[in-house]
Chains A and B, each alone.
Chain A
Amino acid sequence: MAARCLFRSYSRVKNVDQNTRILVRCSRRMLCSVPSDSSSPDAHVKPQFMDAEVQDILTRIAGLDLEKVFRPIKQELKPPTYKLMTDAQLEEAIQSAREQAQRLLKMPPVLPERKPINDVLSEDKILEGMDTAKYVFTDITFNIPHRERFIVIREPTGTLRKASWEERDRILQVYFPKGARRLTAPPVFQEESLKVVFGQDRHEDVLDLCQVQFEPDSSEYIRVHAATYEDLEKMGKYDLLRSTRHFGGLVWYLVNARRVDGLIIDMLQEDLLQDAVSLVGLFNKVHPNSEIAQEASSQQASGLDLLKIYAKRESQRAGYIELALQAYEQTSAESSV
C-alpha cells in the first residue's frame, strides 16, 4: 500500500531520491525481520549448531589427521620444492601446518531451511499483455550484501514480485559469479547419480561440490546432505569423513535424529573412547529430556559411566558396547599394573 502511494507521485525528478530511499528502508526492514521463536514453554534453550561448546565438542570428535587433510588434491602440477631445515624450524613448520589444517577444517554452517519468498510489490492490471517475456531487474550496487539485494520480476500479467530463492541464486551467479559455481546444478545431485557416487565412496567430493554450488540454507543443500549422511550411516563408513570439515555436520545430523549407535560402535572399534564420551555428552546437551541425560545428571556421571548408561538405556546394540567397555577396562588395568 505504501509502495503504491509512493509510485503515484509523478513529480519524479523531485521525489525519486525520497521514493527509492523509503522503498529501500521498507524492504530492508521486511527482509531483515526474522520472527524469534520464543513460543516454547520450557525454560531451556535448545543448543544450536554454532554454540561454542557444541563446536568445541564437534571439532574434538572430528579429529585432526594431517596426512588426510593435506593429501594431494587435484591441482595443476608443480615440481615439488625441497627445503633444508633444522629440527626447530621443522617443528615450526609442523605447527603452522596444524593451524592451517584447523582453518581448512572450519565447519560449514548448518542452517534451517529458508522460507520461500512470496512478496508481491505491486499488481498492475493495466499492464497485462505488454510483453510475452518476464523482465528481471537486478540492483547491481556494489556495497550491498547479496541477501539484501533487490531482484524483482515483472511478469507479463503486470505483477511486480520479488524473485524466488532459486531465481535469486541463478541471477546473482550471472552478475556476481562465484568461482566454481555453475548456473544450473550439475546432474550429480539427482537421486540416481547420488547412488552411483556413493557406491564409489566419494561422499566427500559430493559434499564439497554441494558446498560450492548451493547456499547453506537452500532446500537442495539440505536434501543432498541428508541423503549423504543417511547413506554413510547405513553403510557405517564414518571413516570417510573423519578428518574433514563435514564430520561435524554428520555428527549434528545423527544426534538430532537420535541414531548415534553406529557412530559410537565405530569409535569404540577405533579405540577413540574419549571421542565416544564427548559424543554422549553432546547428546545429553541436545536432548536434555531423554532418559540418559536425566540419569547422568542425577548420578553426576562422567567418562566411561556415561557410556555405560548410554549402553543400558538408549542403544539397540547394547551388548557390543558393554563388551568393548569391559575390554578397555581390562587393558587399562593391565597397563596400569
Chain B
Amino acid sequence: MVRLSSFLLKTYHGGHIVIRLAMAGHKQSNRPFYRVVAAYNKRARDSKYIEQLGSYDPLPNIYNEKLVSFNSDRIKYWMGCGAHPTKPVAKLLGLAGFFPLHPMTVTEAERRRALVELAEGAAPEEVDKQQEL
C-alpha cells in the first residue's frame, strides 16, 4: 500500500499519522467510550496521542442516541497533512455526511436485513410446528 506522508510529518521515525478510535476511561469499567484521535501509527491504541479530534459513545442514551462529536476543522487539517483514517472512523464520518458513505456500511446494513428476514422466516415456521405438535 502506498503510504502518502507529507513533508511536514517527516520528523518522525518512519511511521505515519492515523486518525483512529482510542478507548478512554479504564479497562476495568465494562463501559466503553472512544476518543477520535490523531496519533502515530506505531503507538499503542490508548497511549499518548497527538491531538484529540472528537469522541464516540457506543452505548445509546435514554433518548436512544449514540453521541459522536468531531472537530471538522482539525480533521481537515490532519487529512491535509496526510493522516489516514481507520475503517471505523471512516464509517462514522461517512454516516455523518462528512465523508462519502463507506461501502462496508451498506454491506453491513444488507447483512443485518438478511439476518432479520431469516429470523422472521424461522419464527413463523417454529410457531407452525408447535401448533402442529
Interface contact B109-A136, CB-CB below 8 Å: no
* Range for the number of chain B residues in contact with chain A: 20 to 34
> Which residues of A sit under 8 angstroms from B66, Cβ to Cβ?
131, 133-136
Interface contact B99-A12, CB-CB below 8 Å: yes
The reply to whether the CB of B101 lies closer than 8 angstroms to some CB of chain A is: yes
Interface contact B70-A140, CB-CB below 8 Å: yes
Tell me the complex Cα distance, A160–B101, Å: 12
Q: Which of A8, A16, A126, A153 contacts B76 (CB 8 A)?
A: A16
The reply to whether the CB of A7 lies closer than 8 angstroms to some CB of chain B is: yes
> Which residues of A sit under 8 angstroms from B101, Cβ to Cβ?
7, 124, 127
Interface contact B72-A133, CB-CB below 8 Å: no
> Which residues of A sit under 8 angstroms from B80, Cβ to Cβ?
17
Interface contact B69-A140, CB-CB below 8 Å: yes
The reply to whether the CB of B120 lies closer than 8 angstroms to some CB of chain A is: no
Contact A141 B109, CB 8 Å, known A7-B97, A160-B97: no
> Which residues of A sit under 8 angstroms from B64, Cβ to Cβ?
132-134
> 1/0 contact trace for A1-33 toward B, CB 8 Å?
001000111101100110010010000000000
Tell me the complex Cα distance, A114–B101, Å: 32
User: Which residue of chain B lies nearest to A17 when distances are taken between CB atoms in the complex?
Assistant: B76
> Which residues of A sit under 8 angstroms from B98, Cβ to Cβ?
16, 20, 137
Interface contact B79-A16, CB-CB below 8 Å: yes
Closest beta carbon of chain A to B100's beta carbon, Å = 4
> Which residues of A sit under 8 angstroms from B106, Cβ to Cβ?
126-127
Q: Which of A10, A16, A126 contacts B109 (CB 8 A)?
A: A126
Closest beta carbon of chain A to B60's beta carbon, Å = 4
The 10 A-B residue pairs with the shortest CB-CB distance, nearest first, are A130-B109, A133-B60, A137-B96, A141-B73, A138-B69, A7-B100, A140-B69, A129-B113, A136-B65, A134-B65
- B: residues with CB less than 8 A from A are 4, 54, 60, 63-74, 76, 79-80, 92, 95-101, 105-106, 108-110, 112-113, 116
- A: residues with CB less than 8 A from B are 3, 7-10, 12-13, 16-17, 20, 23, 121-122, 124, 126-143, 150, 152-154, 158, 160, 171, 174-175
Ordered by A's residue number, 19 sampled pairs between the chains whose C-beta atoms are within 8 Å are A3-B97, A9-B100, A12-B99, A13-B4, A121-B97, A129-B112, A130-B108, A132-B64, A133-B60, A133-B64, A133-B65, A134-B65, A136-B66, A136-B67, A138-B67, A139-B71, A154-B95, A160-B97, A175-B69
